[in-house]
Chains A and B, each alone.
Chain A
Amino acid sequence: MVPYGDSAFLVELPDLAAVIAFYRGLLGAGSAGRPQGVVDVVPAARTVLVTFDPDVLPPSDVLAWLSAAEPDHSAAESGRTVDIPVAYGGPDLAEVARILRTTEADVVSRHTGAHWTAAFAGFAPGFVYLVTDGEQLTVPRRSTPRTAVPAGAVGLAGEFSGVYPRSSPGGWQLIGTTTAVLWDSARPEPALIRPGDTVRFREA
């Protein structure tokens, strides 16, 4: 655990699986939740950032909370599950099948068959990097990013899958489209997927 200024700690972990397990242990169903005074808990690829309000919670109490956390390595379904209907057939589906040396139907069945875990947010509100066991869908990014990817586009890049919450430039391989709204600032919970959730894609 590395101090990060006077009101945060950065927890360093060996890999993304350890990050997810630590995050779920801190805040998941089996935990006591975040103490009063903890502001943000931000998972990333190899770290979990914890910010706190030192006027409410002394750093020693934050460290005690972090040290007491038991990593939760249980099956993916332990968290909330979010169901995403997808119309497969995005502009890169054929290219992904070619890279993986399989058929488009098999890419779809791998994508819908996997249990995806929401690892961390990034680049736009509501965007969450999703990971799954194995490397059955690992593909490189497009060599030339698109200047505009529409909202609802479902993509693959590296070990990740994700859904664009809004129209933006992007280099992910697009394999389908969903009508699910990933971010709606008018909802009490604007984000459809939060870190730690399980995501299942199904063919719409």
Chain B
Amino acid sequence: MGIVVMDPGPLTLIEDLGRRGSAELGLSPSGALDRKSLMLANALLGNAPGAPGLEVLLGGLRLRFVTGTSVAVTGAEGRVTVNGADIDVNQAVRVPPGAVMAFAPPAFGIRYYLAVSGGIAAPSLLGSCSADLLSGEGPPPLKAGDSVALARDNGSAGSPGAAVPPMAQLPAPDVFRRVFRRAPDPDSPITLRVDRGPRADWFDDASLRRLTGQFWTMSPESNRIGARLLGRPLRQNRTDELPSEGAVLGALQVPPSGLPTVFLADHPVTGGYPVIAVVRRSDLDLLGQARPGQRIRFLGAIGA
């Protein structure tokens, strides 16, 4: 039953739309880094928007489907095959029992999302099945030989609060539905809108201008906890220590190095460095697809 992992690639995780209200317990929101792509994959299959799927970093994943089902791949773009034949992304595809599905390294973006009809079944913690790499809570990264259960086989909805419609309401698997959505071009800069952060006044005017006035580069040390940025450092105009305070998804926290980190889904719930700006929630999906070396520009009025 379900899906057997032949090779997990560099990092494949079970993710849904994350936890809400867990920060006061010290737990990150977690969830898919490119939420719209997971929601799109689910929509293509008639799943609830937050049904758990797989987040596949940089391809390399190979799966054997013991159970036949419908799937949709979204997010990054690259060569994805079923039994050696290319399949299209952003489209519902039927996978027969026994089929092998393989993900090549993507040409655009870095995270594929794989949704299966009815969603993946995984234990829920505080309303979410998402893996959280900071705390180690939620399902661990997939390993070769793991079995991934399908919620449909288990007769469960996978994630409480994300009811999966019964089989009869799902579109017939042979109804091809396709949408057009591109992962970002690795050779073009991406633009992220920002709002002023709570500690913008800790920075001099030149630094506030520099945040939006220069191109930043995505560091290869970025992960699900934060997107680390390289560029001309920002300078604080204060030297006192900030007592740790709650931090939000998208916060641009600036350590003494002057190089900001954008907090992503598995971010610490508090931080002790000043937050100069906050990336708009709806632009974080794009950042979740930015490749190491990708240029990033911030857009917004964060001056006093």
Contacts and interface: CB of A to CB of B under 8 A. Distances in A.
B197 A5 contact: yes
A87 to B, nearest CB: 25
Interface in A101-139: 120-128
A91 B127 CA distance: 39
A3 B21 contact: no
Interface string A70-91: 0000000000000000000000
Contacts of A128: 26
Contacts of B279: 5
A4 B24 contact: no
Given A5-B197, A43-B24, A121-B25, A49 B245 contact: yes
Nearest to A8: B248
A47 B274 CA distance: 13
Contact of B248 (A5, A124, A127): A5
A85 to B, nearest CB: 22
Given A5-B248, A7-B248, A125 B26 contact: yes
Interface string A136-157: 0000000000000000000000
Contacts of A41: 24
Contact of A190 (B23, B126, B195): B126
A42 B23 contact: yes
A127 B270 CA distance: 13
A190 to B, nearest CB: 7
Q: Classify chain A: how many residues form its interface, as a range.
A: 20 to 34
B278 A121 contact: no
B278 A47 contact: no
Contacts of B20: 39-40
Contacts of B123: 185
A117 to B, nearest CB: 14
A46 B270 CA distance: 12
Q: Classify chain B: how many residues form its interface, as a range.
A: 20 to 34
Nearest to A4: B198
Q: Which of A4, A5, A120, A194 has the most CB of B within 10 A?
A: A5
Contacts of A2: 198
A44 B125 contact: no
Given A2-B198, A185-B125, A194 B246 contact: no
B269 A7 contact: no
B23 A40 contact: yes
B26 A5 contact: no
Interface string B229-262: 0000000000000011111101100000000000
A122 B269 contact: yes
A51 interface: yes
Contact of B26 (A10, A48, A51, A121): A121
A6 B125 contact: no
B25 A6 contact: no
A128 B251 CA distance: 23
13 contacts: A3-B196, A4-B248, A4-B251, A5-B281, A10-B245, A39-B21, A40-B21, A40-B23, A40-B24, A42-B24, A47-B246, A121-B26, A121-B269
Given A4-B275, A40-B23, A120-B24, 14 more contacts: A4-B197, A5-B250, A5-B280, A5-B281, A8-B248, A10-B198, A10-B246, A44-B244, A44-B245, A45-B244, A48-B246, A51-B23, A121-B269, A194-B25
